[in-house]
Amino acid sequence: MTINQLSVFVENKIGSLVDVTKTLYENEIDMRTLSVAETPDFGVLRAIVNDPEKTARLLTDAGYVCKLTPVLAVAIDDRPGGMYRVLQTLEQHSINLEYTYAFVTRTTDTAYMVLRVADNEKAIQVLQEQNIRLVSAQEVFKL
Amino acid sequence: MEHYFQPEIERASRDQIRAWQDERLAKTVRHVYDHVPYYRTRMQEKGLTPEDIQSVDDLHKLPFLTKDDLREAYPYGLLAKPLSDCVRIQSTSGTTGRRVVAFYTQHDIDLWDECCARAIVAAGGTRDDVVHVCYGYGLFTGGPGLNGGSHKVGSLTLPMSSGNTERQIQFMCDLGSTILCCTPSYAAYLAESIHERGLQDKIKLKAGIFGAEAWTEEMRADIQNKLGIKAYDIYGLTEISGPGVSFECSEQTGMHINEDHFIAEIINPQTGEVLPDGEKGELVFTSITKEAFPLLRYRTRDICVLNRKPCSCGRTHVKMSKPMGRSDDMLIIKGVNVFPSQIEAVLLQQGYPANYQILVSRENNSDRLEVQVEMVPEMFSDSVSEIAQREKELINALKAMLGIYAKVTLVEPKTIARSEGKAVRVIDTRNLY
Ligand SMILES: [Zn+2]
């Protein structure tokens, strides 16, 4: 139940982001979410795309350094405290959260969270125990 | 099994080498005293006549010669033969001031070619090899030197010259090049390009002879792995003849100096005092067989160590270390001596590529050192903190090596310009002079 997230090394300047997203656009890559984590000098662009392997190849050929990482995506309940419940569950089981970001789609009212944790197996187990719904790549792209 | 181009010379007894040196030094000193007013004047200033220089023991009496002296003497001031006896010139890549022009008689070309032939045979070259020379041809000695050496060995010589990487790789594949001669940075670039094209199974290289710029053991390991070859170092300078003044053998622990042609000394660069073998200092050469442009006690500016321990290859000629720095390249940053080669060694140790640039600037009257390094897949992570942690480790390792703080900037791949000749690694914008 993991999703392959694409990350790309970019220099911290607007032109770098323009170039990467242009390559994605020109190759008609279907992208569900994109976020950038940055330091003053560089950034890591993270994206959930429909064909991560192909996209990684495209970007590598275009001269970028990129990487695929299995991450978790969960659906957040449409009621107060949905996000809190997810994070609290991870914390209670001492599962280290490297980073997280949320995204919404046009077609449903549900919000989704991407979770990058140290131990995917354990996180899946404890989240499922709390009836938190994990979302597959197929589902993300059929949304 | 070790092979030699001239075994009787390369394996001569130390006594024999010494006898050659004594005799040839005395003869060269007599020759320049009689034919070059510059040397005569400089010797007379010291109260010396040719009779005072009978053997290598007397060498220290002679004055040093520097690159500035050579520039002063441009173009004919040190010429020791009539121009009608000369057949060639070569010249240094003069970035500042006047160039240095070296003259060669046919005899001088022959001995230079023989020196390069010794290097090629030491790297395993035979008449059945295909020697691919992509040093520049022209005034630069790299191309002509290895070209001449390859002819002497009887190898098939590919005078590729530098540049046009596509064509280099195509010839390498189509003609089955076995020995590659170029700068180490270009060898690393070629290795990378061959891998990018997936052609590593199409090349037949077995050895490389790389020189004309500084390179590290890490870079050697990288080139050897990527190309599946043994990489040999070669050293030389136009003023003394060109590549082949010294060359590496299979032991890869230093370069044998062709002592039947060149006498090496190590001096304290500040005082000029001659240092014993094993001590680090500036390398000084005296050429004792050249006709047109013999130099007495020429200061190379290269910082080296000499080693006379017997070598497993059977050669008896002294070995010099890879130059550990060049006083020309030495940067003084915040009062500390910094050599680009030190920075490169740290980068490779830490797993970064040899594609880097050193930026030195001055902000608020204080020197600022920045090292830009290209990101590579091995160092990349989806986690910013992991990348930042590796960056911090690199900063600490640089600080441990240099003694000063260097800002590290990670840049996207292929954004630092790669040269196909000598690498330009340092951009110093301080304008201190
Ligand atoms: Zn040896």
CATH number where B23 lies: 3.40.50.12780
Give the residue from B354, B297, B304, B295 showing the smallest Cα distance to B324.
B304
Last residue in a domain, options B278, B309, B326: B326
State residue B433's pLDDT score: 47
Write out residues in chain B with pLDDT < 70, as ranges. Answer: 93-97, 326-329, 418-424, 431-433
Same domain flag for B322 and B339:
no
What residue spans define the domains of chain A?
3-69, 71-142
Same domain flag for B286 and B362:
no
Q: Taking CB atoms and an 8 Å limit, are A63 and B413 in contact across chains? A: yes
Same domain flag for B71 and B219:
yes
Residue whose tokens read 């008689």: B105
Apex CA A119: angle with CA A118 and CA A121, to 5°?
160
Token pair recorded at residue A64: 């970028």
DSSP secondary structure code for residue B308 in this structure: -
State residue A31's pLDDT score: 86
CATH 2.60.40.1290, domain A3-69, yes or no: no
Same domain flag for B248 and B142:
yes
Residue type, B118: R
Dihedral angle computed from the Cα positions of residues A53, A58, A63 and A68, in that order, rounded to the nearest 10 degrees: -20
ipTM here = 0.89
Same domain flag for B310 and B378:
no
Same domain flag for B12 and B33:
yes
CATH number of this structure's domain A71-142 = 3.30.2130.10
User: Which residues of A lie inside 8 Å of B (Cβ-Cβ)?
Assistant: 5, 7, 9-11, 16, 37-39, 41-44, 46, 63-67, 69, 98-99, 116
CATH topology identical between A3-69 and A71-142: yes
Last residue in a domain, options B298, B326, B354: B326
Among B196, B357, B382, which would you mutate to test the A interface (most chain A Cβ atoms within 10 Å of its Cβ)? B382
Task: Say how far apart CA B182 and CA B190 lie, in whole Å.
Answer: 10
State residue A59's pLDDT score: 94
Q: Looking at beta carbons, which residues of chain A come within 8 Å of B414? A: 63
Q: Taking CB atoms and an 8 Å limit, are B410 and A63 in contact across chains? A: no
Same domain flag for B203 and B82:
yes
Q: Taking CB atoms and an 8 Å limit, are A11 and B411 in contact across chains? A: yes
Query: What CATH number does the domain containing B355 carry?
Result: 3.30.300.30
Same domain flag for B335 and B320:
no
Quote the domain boundaries for residue B379. Answer: 331-432
Last residue in a domain, options B306, B326, B346: B326
Task: Say how far apart CA A98 and CA B386 lie, in whole Å.
Answer: 10
Handedness of CA A58, A61, A64, A65 (dihedral sign): positive
Same domain flag for B148 and B219:
yes
Alpha helices of A27-136 — where are they, by DSSP H? 52-61, 82-92, 120-129
State residue B80's pLDDT score: 97
Same domain flag for B318 and B356:
no
Ion ligand 1 contact residues with beta carbon within 5 A: B 249, 251, 311, 313, 315
Task: Say how far apart CA B420 and CA B163 lie, in whole Å.
Answer: 6
State residue B9's pLDDT score: 98
| Model pLDDT for residues A8-49, shown as the tens digit of each residue | 999 988 888 888 989 989 998 888 888 899 888 899 999 999
State residue B94's pLDDT score: 55
Q: How far is B170 from chain A (nearest CA, A)?
A: 21
Token pair recorded at residue B241: 């003849």
Token pair recorded at residue B332: 């003084």
State residue B328's pLDDT score: 60
Give the residue from A43, A39, A40 showing the smallest Cα distance to A18.
A43
Handedness of CA B142, B147, B153, B155 (dihedral sign): positive
Task: Say how far apart CA B106 and CA B25 lie, in whole Å.
Answer: 20
Same domain flag for B320 and B385:
no
Smallest CA–CA distance from A40 into chain B, residue: B409
| Model pLDDT for residues A56-106, shown as the tens digit of each residue | 999 999 889 999 999 999 998 767 788 899 999 999 999 999 999 988 877
Apex CA B316: angle with CA B310 and CA B318, to 5°?
80
Q: Taking CB atoms and an 8 Å limit, are A44 and B387 in contact across chains? A: yes
CA of B338 to the centre of ligand 1 (A): 31
The number of domains in chain B is 2
